[in-house]
A and B are shown apart, each in its own frame.
Chain A
Amino acid sequence: MPKQTISTLILMACLTLAYAQTDSLLSKRVPILDTARSATTLQQLANEFERIALADEGSWLAHYYTAYAYVELAYQTKGDQIDTYCDQAEIYLKNAEKLQPAHTEIYALYAYLYGARVNVNPMLRGAKMGTQSEQYINLAIKANPDNPRPYLIRGMGKYYTPKIFGGGKEKAIPFLEEALEKFSTFKPQPPYAPNWGKPLTERLLQDSRKE
């Protein structure tokens, strides 16, 4: 066989391997997401998901998780850098949305992302981007009322809004409780589909009840 044909064959084979691998690759990494909190780990995860997304462009979950890791990074940082991470996240989230339109998890992640953007300047952005986040929460609930994440994001919004602006930990409790209830019955399908947020809900709820 000519040499060229062999290398083409090998390349094709390796690419096929990559596609088939996506599922197993995602399954391996998704469970760590809830525990990864350091910027270094999150960036590594973002890079790994990005590699999967670039190798298998048809996998909406690979794009989704890349976006998710960048949103988490945005929550770990301050100032203008929040926007840099969110811009990156939005690129991948839009890719995911193209592959899987009107999906509850994609709406929920948009809501989570706009929540992060508010942090750049809560006084200046609270009204506009808070409203955008709220709109995505409603869309996410409408697409799947059993999804716990929109309730978590709503609860989180209340949790971090000072009492005097109509927020407060007390007001967060009913939403966080609802989220937790939904977490207990929520079964991600496939198993490596989004299922993040339970430990965060528990932590916020525990803290809210202390007050």
Chain B
Amino acid sequence: MYQFIRGMKRLSLLISVIVCLGCSLRVFAQNRISGQVSDRQGTPLIGVNVFIKGTIEGTSTDEYGQFTFQTNITGDTVIVFRHITMEERQLPLRIHTGMPALSVTMKEKRKELDEVVITAGDFGVGDRKQATVMNTMDVETTAGTDGDITGALRTLPGTQQVGESGQLFVRGGSGDEAKIMIDGLDIPNPFLARVPDVAQRNRFSPHLFKGIVFNTGGYSAQYGGALSSVLALETNDHPSKPSTVIALIPYGGQIGHDFLDEERRISGGIDVGYSNFGPYYSLIPQNVDWLKAPESGMITANFRKNTGKTGMLKWYGYGNMLHQSINYPDVELQGKPFPYTARNSNAISLLTYTGKLNERWRMYAGYGFNFNRDRIENNGADSQTATFQHQARLWFVGKITDWATLHVGAEGYDFRADIDSLQHAEQFRWQDNEWGAWAETDLRVTPGLMIRPGVRVEHSKALNTYVLLPRISLAHRTGRYSQVSLTAGDYAQKPTYIFLQSGSALTYARATHYVANFQYSHQNRIFRIESYYKNYRNLLTTSPQIANNGHGYAGGVDIFWRDSKTVNGFDYWISYTWLQTERRFMDYPIRTTPTFAAPHTAHVVAKYFFHPIGLFIGGSYSVAAGRPYYNPNDPTFLADRTPAYHNLNVNAALLRRWGKTFNTFVFAVNNLAGSQQVFSYRYSADGSYRLPVTLPYKRSFMVGWFISIGQDRSQEILEQLP
């Protein structure tokens, strides 16, 4: 049979040769097809596959975009042009003798990734995304950020250097106006408990997350409850291998294990950590008089399971207990110290499901639980506050047509706070139910133009009111590697429950954002410039009485440049923030620049990885103009400015593999130059005595050893810097 087929093939070859000979005899001579191919900008395209459709007759364009080939085929044909980054073109051509040279233009291929996306306000952190300015490695390796996600984000433009707090202060907004969520669910207490004037870290290790989107303004209708900024974190999918990790640092240790089933459909992990800063503080001098250096225990766990063909069920759990105490100087008593003790317990549970309903629709369902308890002993005024938050969130996204995608969703909250003033046996309970719903559509008008109109509704039972928040964004591709985005929208935030329980009739604080963004990104170089204007109304004021009498504005320009192309192995970024803002809020008697706003902030971050010897070194330098502080001796409110802020940090990591263990040794120094960083001053009421609020240390040092067994997790280890 096989022989027969071979025979038939030969026979058909013979016949076709004869027939084709026949056709070439008909024309007698060969015809030449030639021409040039270029893109729409007129640049010649090299390596274009040019051929007659249905045949193998053709050639490739040369370095000038030119091609020429001879063919026996005559008459009506179609010439195909194919290039790896271009849209295929087909050109009908009647082949005859003495044809003129062709001139062909090709359009860029419309790929999912090349489609324009809205970048206004968004900083993406990931491996391969349009708005990406960092990857998760950067979070871990940026000097001075202490492997803290929020620390790394503070080297991006739009953020303020507020050294006495670990929170994010974005574009003139206060730390409470930025919201953090994991897998779409709110984290109301994302930072470790604090004592006064000492910055706290965020609770979460960056190696938990595969994606981080930091929005500095104009975010989508999917998110609510934040006036200035949203930080959305997305937890990892299955690990590639099971592994164990051990971390040894001067003030503690951590051990974790990740498992993965053989079919890669179930995975999970557990991490247990303990830290005690006592021994470390006895070695490295501290400016803070610690009575009890921070001591804490932490446990985190996660679980992931594939369900059905497309579904993924994820659970993330976190628990932490922290105890610390300082001698806090009283400015009214010439700095006489009194003890301030803070004990905190925190627990988080996040359960989410994502999956496809059918070819067009995807869904998400999530349930989040947050518990937090703070017990504060403050010079005889002791209190205990416990909060419980339940959140349910559901959304659907579907392709309505090829060019329109619809997002609809809703979420509900149940919140309770129990406040116990321990001495007076006074107890308060405060409760609220809130819900939000949204709809938005991505309209892809052309591959280069996208419009996203959306609307969000929020309601709070305690406020007994609704807000309607329309938002719109637009992105337009202006060149092969550049685009502009515009966005505008209304945002609202509820006052914190501490003020709501006062009994005053309060409402949502409101802001309107306008953001314009230009971005150029090509081959490991990215340039972004963004300008914005924000208008605030109904900000909470606490003086003369608790009300929504505040107002204000913020405007500015953020510039970012990153280049990891010019010098191989060397990577750096520069960011600059210009901010003008005034507001009346809290106890401010007038509208003025708030204490957390500096007009100019700049950062330079550089890193170099010597891959052959596994050595990483990095450095960062930040500089910011002075911030306003309150001086009772000055008749003008908040007219004084702190000295300029300088901060220089370095870090190094050495990576080694011994047998099946991956070892990382880390060394880091923060505030290498020992700069005196004054964040503010605390004055006595009569203005006769003051104390500066500074860094709790002159320099901080870190030496660590991280071991991972099974899988190379060295990259996720660098993050656990001091």
Which A residues contact B (CB, under 8 angstroms)?
7, 9-11, 13-18, 20-21, 25, 40, 43-44, 46-48, 50-52, 55, 70, 79-81, 83-85, 88, 121-128, 131-132, 162, 164-166
Bound-complex Cα distance A207 to B332 (A): 75
Taking the closest CB of chain B, its distance from the CB of A112, in whole angstroms, is 18
Which residue of the partner chain B has the closest CB to A24? Answer: B13
Given contacts A13-B16, A50-B82, contact A127 B54 (CB under 8 A): no
Contact with A along B127-153 (1 / 0, CB 8 A): 110000001110000000000000000
Contact B715 A124 (CB under 8 A): yes
Contact B84 A88 (CB under 8 A): yes
Contact A40 B63 (CB under 8 A): yes
Residues of A within 8 A of B47 (CB): 40, 43-44, 46-47
Residues of A within 8 A of B137 (CB): 123-124
Taking the closest CB of chain B, its distance from the CB of A157, in whole angstroms, is 13
What are 19 A-B pairs with beta-carbon distances under 8 A? A10-B22, A14-B19, A16-B13, A16-B16, A18-B55, A18-B56, A20-B13, A40-B63, A46-B49, A47-B82, A79-B524, A79-B565, A81-B523, A84-B85, A88-B84, A125-B127, A126-B712, A127-B240, A128-B240
Contact B54 A55 (CB under 8 A): yes
Contact A131 B54 (CB under 8 A): no
Contact with A along B693-722 (1 / 0, CB 8 A): 000000000000000000111010000000
Contact A17 B13 (CB under 8 A): yes
Bound-complex Cα distance A15 to B524 (A): 45
Contact with A along B49-87 (1 / 0, CB 8 A): 101001111111001000000000101000000101100
Contact A51 B612 (CB under 8 A): no
Residues of A within 8 A of B712 (CB): 126-127, 165
- Picked from A43, A81, A165, the residue with its CB within 8 Å of the CB of B614 is A165
Residues of A within 8 A of B51 (CB): 51
Which B residues contact A (CB, under 8 angstroms)?
9-10, 12-13, 15-17, 19-20, 22-23, 46-47, 49, 51, 54-60, 63, 73, 75, 82, 84-85, 127-128, 135-137, 240-241, 523-524, 565, 609, 611-614, 655-657, 662, 711-713, 715
Contact A55 B55 (CB under 8 A): yes
- Picked from A70, A127, A132, the residue with its CB within 8 Å of the CB of B711 is A127
Taking the closest CB of chain B, its distance from the CB of A133, in whole angstroms, is 11
Which residue of the partner chain A has the closest CB to B568? Answer: A78
Bound-complex Cα distance A25 to B58 (A): 14
Residues of B within 8 A of A10 (CB): 19-20, 22-23
Residues of B within 8 A of A165 (CB): 614, 655, 657, 662, 712
Contact A44 B60 (CB under 8 A): yes
Given contacts A47-B49, A55-B55, A55-B56, contact A162 B17 (CB under 8 A): no
Given contacts A16-B15, A165-B614, contact A127 B46 (CB under 8 A): no
Contact B16 A20 (CB under 8 A): yes
Residues of A within 8 A of B17 (CB): 17
Residues of B within 8 A of A125 (CB): 127
Contacts beyond the supplied A13-B15, A165-B614, A165-B662: 17 A-B pairs with Cβ under 8 Å: A13-B19, A13-B20, A16-B12, A18-B54, A43-B46, A50-B49, A51-B58, A55-B55, A79-B565, A85-B84, A121-B127, A122-B611, A124-B715, A126-B712, A128-B240, A165-B657, A165-B712
Bound-complex Cα distance A131 to B710 (A): 12
Contact B611 A166 (CB under 8 A): no
Residues of A within 8 A of B127 (CB): 121, 124-125
6 closest residue pairs by CB, A with B:
A43-B47, A13-B19, A47-B49, A17-B16, A164-B614, A20-B13
Which residue of the partner chain A has the closest CB to B715? Answer: A123
Contact A20 B12 (CB under 8 A): yes
Contact A21 B656 (CB under 8 A): no
Contact B19 A127 (CB under 8 A): no
Contact A164 B656 (CB under 8 A): yes
Residues of A within 8 A of B655 (CB): 164-165
Which residue of the partner chain B has the closest CB to A9? Answer: B19
Contact B73 A14 (CB under 8 A): yes
Given contacts A17-B13, A25-B56, contact A164 B613 (CB under 8 A): yes
Taking the closest CB of chain B, its distance from the CB of A38, in whole angstroms, is 12
Bound-complex Cα distance A17 to B22 (A): 13
Residues of A within 8 A of B136 (CB): 124
Residues of B within 8 A of A43 (CB): 46-47, 60
Given contacts A14-B55, A17-B16, A162-B612, contact A47 B715 (CB under 8 A): no
Bound-complex Cα distance A142 to B229 (A): 53
Residues of B within 8 A of A46 (CB): 47, 49
Contact B613 A162 (CB under 8 A): yes
Contact B16 A123 (CB under 8 A): no
Taking the closest CB of chain B, its distance from the CB of A172, in whole angstroms, is 15
Bound-complex Cα distance A15 to B49 (A): 19
Bound-complex Cα distance A21 to B20 (A): 13
Bound-complex Cα distance A15 to B16 (A): 9
Residues of B within 8 A of A132 (CB): 240
Taking the closest CB of chain A, its distance from the CB of B626, in whole angstroms, is 38
Residues of B within 8 A of A17 (CB): 13, 16-17, 20
Contact A20 B9 (CB under 8 A): yes
Taking the closest CB of chain B, its distance from the CB of A142, in whole angstroms, is 16
Contact B12 A127 (CB under 8 A): no
- Picked from B12, B524, B612, the residue with its CB within 8 Å of the CB of A80 is B524
Contact A124 B56 (CB under 8 A): no
Bound-complex Cα distance A55 to B84 (A): 18
Residues of A within 8 A of B55 (CB): 14, 18, 51, 55
Which residue of the partner chain A has the closest CB to B243? Answer: A127
Bound-complex Cα distance A187 to B3 (A): 22
Bound-complex Cα distance A21 to B56 (A): 10
Residues of B within 8 A of A44 (CB): 47, 60
Residues of A within 8 A of B49 (CB): 46-47, 50-51
Bound-complex Cα distance A162 to B22 (A): 62
Residues of B within 8 A of A16 (CB): 12-13, 15-16
Taking the closest CB of chain B, its distance from the CB of A63, in whole angstroms, is 14
Which residue of the partner chain B has the closest CB to A55? Answer: B56
Residues of B within 8 A of A52 (CB): 56
Bound-complex Cα distance A44 to B50 (A): 11
- Picked from A51, A79, A84, the residue with its CB within 8 Å of the CB of B56 is A51
Taking the closest CB of chain B, its distance from the CB of A169, in whole angstroms, is 12
Residues of A within 8 A of B85 (CB): 84
Which residue of the partner chain B has the closest CB to A80? Answer: B523
Contact A164 B657 (CB under 8 A): yes
Bound-complex Cα distance A43 to B46 (A): 9
Contact B524 A124 (CB under 8 A): no
Bound-complex Cα distance A16 to B137 (A): 55
Bound-complex Cα distance A6 to B241 (A): 63
Which residue of the partner chain B has the closest CB to A166? Answer: B657
Which residue of the partner chain A has the closest CB to B9? Answer: A20
Given contacts A40-B47, A85-B84, contact A124 B135 (CB under 8 A): yes
Taking the closest CB of chain B, its distance from the CB of A103, in whole angstroms, is 20
Which residue of the partner chain A has the closest CB to B85? Answer: A84
Taking the closest CB of chain B, its distance from the CB of A151, in whole angstroms, is 22
Residues of A within 8 A of B612 (CB): 162
Which residue of the partner chain B has the closest CB to A167? Answer: B657
Bound-complex Cα distance A124 to B126 (A): 10
Q: Which of A21, A43, A46 has the most CB of B within 10 A?
A: A43
Given contacts A50-B82, A164-B657, contact A15 B54 (CB under 8 A): yes
Residues of A within 8 A of B609 (CB): 123
Residues of B within 8 A of A128 (CB): 240
Bound-complex Cα distance A123 to B655 (A): 11
